[in-house]
Structure 1
């Protein structure tokens, strides 16, 4: 859907450093401004390398409101192209994923290569020599990747991806240690839509304050040792602003680096897995695999649309001002033991799955925020938790305790800078 801007409010009147007006979730003109200035002028995550491992592989997805094809050509180069025929605008691919030699528009048969080049036009003589195929490829976006994460942008003038990720890169490196020595791979996903604004979910990824309340049913479903592990609100964790709207919430500090302190006792819930793995793997590798199965001890938010959340990717896509699509993508070890990847999936289903103990409760909370924000006028949404206790992290960015709203403030600073045109990134 194309979002037309009609007199959006000045974002400075909606957002303050410690609070926001409720209209931040519900103003259609503000949403249209976001879709233009954020989702067309930032690096947007579109895929993981393992989604398109071989030449000819592709997936279809979105950059903001725009349908795109992510493909790997015969030379191995990744392309992100608008899913729109250059003739009469029909989508040229409707499959979610697959492998192909070309993309052929089903309307008039125009055929495009894996790089988007226009290769064939039926009955080309009808154009009387007036058709220049070289000038009519599928529109290619700018593409870059880091650690297997593939990003795209419409804006060819913004700084490169390494600059954009900045202080988030070491955390991505740590997150990818979940391969336990093998590459990380995606292992399927589920997606759903909730009736709320996309920023409500963006806030949630670095919000530890809600965990013991919203996720009490999850905590009741696990053993006492696991309950203690997830009792992190009173722990030594922290939330840190990483710049450019990115942030990290460290919930379990001892699990930040999955390759550190491998001599620590194996948790009770993984002992049966460790015993099974020990038949084919040496003790040190068993411990690395078990650590990887349990996931990292942190959530990493990459503004505006990707969270690397403990043991999965969470991807958001704004559909409308009060509708958001969420994808939860399970990840595992590409080439790792089947029994370990199977347990990763079972843990994913236990919390993130549609019948799990985590996501349904989160979704209910997000829905209530959206509905409640319509009550009254001029009543602020508070963003001030932990503001007075912030210190500076190693890179000089703000750092708060694990239940502080530091991550939310980080995202909203970038939001405001982008919407007001003050953002140089």
Structure 2
């Protein structure tokens, strides 16, 4: 498919930017999906892993950039590489272990061996290729790779701007704030669970900065909370927060403004639900100022940050989407903790993660149900547009783009504007 001649030339019919309406075929057309994989996922920065998932030299993790399977690995000098998981000979994957440590990668089909940097090191009976066979030209295909705050991104586009320029100053500021959940310790991934949903990838892209659904879809979660915590999550009625377009398709949904900066207001009383944790930390010898910092960090940040096209920072975890087909998307929920931090704090982080994000939690199963129902619903009334126009009536200028009411669909419009720009 030529990238110079897009099949879908009438992008206004797919996303009516003025009226904020999305055509049903955006979720259903396999040809459009194929073009998205080329024009978006192969041309921009895509999140692949967090550095804590492969901390040692020789450690690796499997991931994806769109439909392309990749290996994220540290070489013997600690440098991070992202390489397509495909032997240069006959295309077999050279690694099927999701995570681990190795000295090299070897194709199981014909034994071609690759170094941690992707270079072709050896192959059986090379003489049959002739004297002019150049091993340096047959290494694993490598992607351009950059990191910010331990978040590793990769791209096939060698001409793209640096990662921090793509993210922008405001996004970097919010990432910095989010990482304060380490409570003075580095953030680490404690584990993850994965699941697939029969939906288009954009259905999930819309979700992370959608506060409008929270009291409806997550009613059971709200009913499971104590009174004080329930009141804190009553952000829709109180209207204290906002949603803001941060440029390049990124957006932030500020639900609990007092938790924007976890290192501010540390003299506030410790919430009752964390009293036992605080006492356990005191008993372990942590001074009171550190106890307050750790406890406040355990509760998570007060916002969701959505990064186009595939990763979000949601309160206290990372959510990663991987497109599989036009009507199937894989989701990874990554639980976060404190590297070298107190075990009690990390246990509490896991319990909080399980309460909402876990496979038996009160949040994610409900989200997955409505995502699937959106996809099923697109089969009815193909001519009916999908509306993302909530909050257009009172948007105001923000730091990098428009800012709307906490329930506005400003974040969705930000993503679709970037989608349209890249598809053009």
What TM-score, normalized by structure 1, do the two folds share? Answer: 0.96
Structure 1 residue ranges without an equivalent (≥5): 421-425
Aligned to 1:168: 171
State how far apart, in whole Å, the 2-side matches of 1:9 and 1:376 are.
23
Deviation per CA, 1:358-377: give whole Å up to 9, x if none: 00101111111111122113
Residue-by-residue CA offset, 1:139-186 (whole Å, 9 max, x unaligned): 100001111100000000111111100021100000011111111000
Matches within 5 A, 1:120-131: 120-131=122-133
Instruction: State the alpha-carbon separation in 2 of the partners of residues 10 and 274 from structure 1.
Output: 58
Name the residue aligned to 1:203: 206
The 5 A counterparts of 1:403-418 are 403-418=407-422
| Correspondent of 1:399 among 384, 403, 413 | 403
1:242 aligns with 2:246: yes
1:305 maps to 2:310? yes
After superposition, the C-alpha distances for 1:311-348 in whole angstroms (9 at most, x for unaligned) are: 00000011111100000000110000011001101110
Aligned residues of 1:111 and 1:119 also touching (Cα < 8 A): yes
Q: CA deviation at 1:6?
A: 9.5
The CA RMSD measured in Å over matched residues stands at 1.2
Q: Of 70, 79, 82, which aligns to 2:81?
A: 79
Q: How far is the alpha carbon of 1:253 from its aligned partner?
A: 0.2
Matched, 1:212 2:215: yes
SS at match of 2:295: helix
Could you tell me which residue of structure 2 aligns to residue 222 of structure 1? 225
2:70 aligned to which of 68, 71, 79: 68
**Residue aligned with 1:144, SS:** strand
Asked if residue 186 in structure 1 is aligned to residue 189 in structure 2, the reply is yes
CA distance in structure 1 between the aligned counterparts of 2:215 and 2:268, rounded to whole angstroms:
26
Contact map agreement 1:182 1:335 (CA 8 A) in 2: yes
Shift in Å, 1:120: 1.0
What are the Cα deviations for residues 62-84 of structure 1, in whole angstroms up to 9, with x where unaligned? 11000110000011110000111
Q: Is the 8 A contact 2:246 2:399 kept in 1?
A: no
SS in 2 for 1:84: coil
What is aligned with 1:290?
295
Residue 275 in 1 paired to residue 302 in 2? Answer: no
Kindly state the Cα deviation for residue 388 of structure 1 after the two structures are TM-superposed.
1.1
What whole-Å deviation, never above 9, does each CA across 1:211-253 have from its counterpart, x for those lacking one? 0110000011111111001000123100000000000000000
The CA deviation at 1:393 is 1.3
